[in-house]
Chain A
Amino acid sequence: MIGAEAMSVIRYRPRGAREQATAWIGMVIFLGSWAMMFAALFFSYGMLRARLPVWPPPGTPPLPRLLPGINTLIIGLSSVAMQRGLSAARRAQAAAVLPAIAAGFLLGLAFLSLQFVLWTGLWRAGLRPEGGAYPSVFYGLTAIHAIHVAVGLGGLGWLLTRAFFHAFGPARNLGLRLWTGYWHFVGAVWLLMYLTVFLI
């Protein structure tokens, strides 16, 4: 009894165009809301930086620029891959969807791995979170961003399995569209983080 009812509640249901548009609006509102959270983090960074005479404070190891630069490229390529997967699904090129999502997923994984290399390197160089505002901003902001990347990877992994079993099509790509939107958002936040925390 319960089994059948559970199925009726959670079963996959094809969604009409209007319903898809509603879901997309919900996603946009969510990303707008979450952008406010990142805006608050950037505001914090700005305030902490503005009250110190020298940034970075003397005696702290400088942040590398090359490695996170490469990472910016990687997450950008990952976004491009996801977008190509989405347009392939829209054009009904089922065969092109799976490789694109796989590429997006693997590049995302590479991004997280390089972030890990970045953290361990700086940790070994003696940059610790308890060292003041500068390392706090670096570790805090990149860690919070990395959690969002990890959540996105979970979503991409789920898309990957779905793409494996039943290809996305022109009328059935809502999940792909929503997660791709999220993935672009995470990438854009990273670009901003690279520009502010690492470059200037």
Chain B
Amino acid sequence: MQAIPSEERAAHEELQPIHHEPKSFFFKYLWSLDHKMIGRQFLWAGLGFLLVGGLLAMMIRWQWAFPGKPVPVLGSIFLRSQGGAIGPATYMTIFTMHGLIMIFFAITPVLIGAFGNFLLPLQIGARDMAFPWLNALSFWTFALSLVFVILSLFGELGAAGAGWTTYPPLSTNVGTPGSGQTWMVAAVFVTGVSTIMGGINYVTTVIRHRAPGMTWMRLPLATWGLWLTAILNVLFVPVLGSAALLLLLDRLFGTQFFIAGATASVSGGGDPILFQHLFWIFGHPEVYILILPAWGIVSDLLSFFSRKPANWYRGTVYAMIAVCVLSAMVYGHHMFLTGFTPLLGQSFMLLTLIISVPAELLFLNWLRTVWQGSIRLTTPMLFSLGMLFVFGMGGLTGLYLGATATDIYLHDTMFVVGHFHLTMAAASFVASLAAIYFWFPKMFGRRMNETLGKVHFWITLVCLVTVFSGQLLAGYSGQSRRLYDPYQYTFLKHLLGVNRVASYAAFLLLFAQFIFIYNFIRSLIAGEKAESNPWQVSTLEWFTASPPPYHNYDRIPTVLRGPHEFADPEVRRRLGRDFIGQAEELPEAMPPAVASAG
């Protein structure tokens, strides 16, 4: 173990001086420069929109279970003019807004905005982000994009309706002339700007503000996941930005980047497929943007609650890096049926299938971490194992879609919907919940109720699996996605039963979330006070107060070891416990007080 020179510590203290905590409401809660507060701002905004996106999902599920029937409760509030029932135009906007809100305005702010902000500086032993001002600007830019989303909901001719993928020409004035679509494309652009600001901050912070001794291979895996996500964001969100810009030019200024065929005024029009290239060059990395933080968090939690070091830490890191490198090279599998040349399609197929190797390594590492452990089935651990379950299902079903032959039949079916919900939605959601249950004590200084958490877990897992298995089965039986009334088709009529079961599970899933909301709010107000390290784990953030002071660390820690030092016999002998913090010095012998107590 090499010693940390004292000059390096001094340089860190000089680089990150302790600032005074602002006291006024405006600087404490609104224009706060504190990464923990900005993280909480993202958390509230993200959870709020998660609920909006969830309610939209319920309306879709209702339509598939009881097509054309008035929607209970929601219908009488929002769809009064249509007698409470969902019409085809409304349905279009519902599934479009559901997708866009969930991806850009719910999961992204919760996983990346909230946990990225909250965790990164704490886990690397920093006092704040590298650019606190940019961080605040990032949140308020995000808030501006939320205003655009709300404007879209009230747009003339309804909200955006071209699907979350926003394929032109449907998303140009040819297909969706209403202002709702324009507002939504603008919202995606603005939220992209916010994401890039956050990404620049995260990338720079981890490069520059790691505490002395926090080498790259001592970073917690959650930090690795969030950092790699930030890199992907910085690289690929601008590509989405350019697609959104060009689409806005087409919509507002009459250019013809994406309009072709009979709708173009002259031959030599644009190319609708161009948008798909731009969209998926961003869109496939986006899948990993949403899942890498989840992988990182789960990798840490599995080790923490197995009380055992993470299996082959470096392997997990390399696998995540490999996935990032491959992520932009596989996007063509979303476009197998657009008329690719065979060679192009087959190249994308090969790269897509290769990405399963690092994914398998990740899984093997997770499975071998829990094996021979001393597993504590706390709520965060249950959610982490639940993530393995749903992500396992989602990842394995991806195989069928990555191969050109099987994709012919399964492309654009509910099978795709089930697959990407299991990976992006269920896995990210379950990992977000694991993270919330785990870091709640650190964020708010109180503990959440474990019993309610476990009840919440079991209902959530069973329902998620039922809903998305239902989608997989419906798709396997041929049901196309985005159908207002699938039963128009003779070959889909018999799927009403499957869809209904999935819908009932979805409604139950929603109700289970009220257990969570109750638990969350109750714990926030009256939860048991948490000490600094309630889970008895080893990363830096658990060695400062809960919640951490404004400046995080009174003294910037000096890191001595990796993040998963559990079950070390030497530590047990000298400290009398099964873990040692990343910055804790190992005493020569067991302190007498502990020795006599033990």
Binding site for B on A (CB under 8 A): 1-2, 5-6, 8-9, 16, 18-19, 21-23, 25-26, 29-30, 32-34, 36-41, 43-44, 47-48, 51-52, 57, 128-137, 139-140, 143-144
Contact = CB atoms under 8 A, between A and B. Distances in A.
B255 A47 contact: no
A26 B238 contact: no
B266 interface: yes
Given A33-B237, A129-B254, 12 more contacts: A2-B27, A9-B33, A16-B14, A26-B131, A32-B235, A33-B234, A47-B277, A48-B257, A57-B267, A129-B256, A133-B268, A140-B246
B269 A26 contact: no
Contacts of B14: 16, 18
B270 A133 contact: yes
Given A37-B238, A40-B278, A144 B245 contact: yes
Contacts of A30: 196, 200
Given A36-B236, A40-B242, A40-B281, A129 B253 contact: yes
Given A29-B234, A32-B234, A139 B255 contact: yes
Contact of A51 (B134, B238, B265, B271): B271
B174 interface: no
Contacts of B267: 57, 132
Interface stretch (B15-23, B46-54, B376-384, B475-483): B15-23
B249 A136 contact: yes
Nearest to B242: A40
Given A5-B24, A18-B14, A57-B267, A136 B208 contact: no
Size category of the binding interface on chain B? 35 or more
Contacts of A18: 11, 14-15, 208
B256 A133 contact: yes
Contacts of B242: 37-38, 40-41, 44
B130 interface: yes
A26 B204 contact: yes
B271 A132 contact: no
Contact of B208 (A22, A57, A135): A22
Contacts of A140: 246, 249, 255, 257
B547 interface: no
B241 A37 contact: yes
B207 interface: yes
Interface in B202-240: 203-204, 207-209, 234-239
22 contacts: A2-B26, A18-B15, A25-B204, A30-B200, A33-B238, A36-B235, A36-B239, A37-B239, A37-B241, A38-B242, A48-B274, A52-B268, A130-B254, A132-B267, A132-B269, A133-B268, A133-B270, A134-B268, A136-B250, A136-B257, A137-B257, A139-B255
A103 B231 CA distance: 37
B264 interface: yes
A135 B264 CA distance: 13
A33 B199 contact: yes
A43 B236 contact: no
A122 to B, nearest CB: 14
A131 B11 CA distance: 59
Nearest to B11: A18
Contacts of B199: 33
A52 B260 CA distance: 12
A114 B131 CA distance: 37
A38 B270 CA distance: 18
Nearest to B136: A9
Nearest to A44: B274
Q: Which 4 A-B pairs have the closest CB atoms?
A: A37-B238, A136-B255, A40-B242, A57-B268
B538 to A, nearest CB: 28
B94 interface: no
Interface string B253-293: 11111000000111111110010011001000000000000
B15 A16 contact: yes
A132 B281 contact: no
B201 interface: yes
B269 A133 contact: yes
A63 to B, nearest CB: 15
B187 interface: no
A34 B238 contact: yes
A131 B269 CA distance: 8
Nearest to B28: A5
A52 B269 CA distance: 9
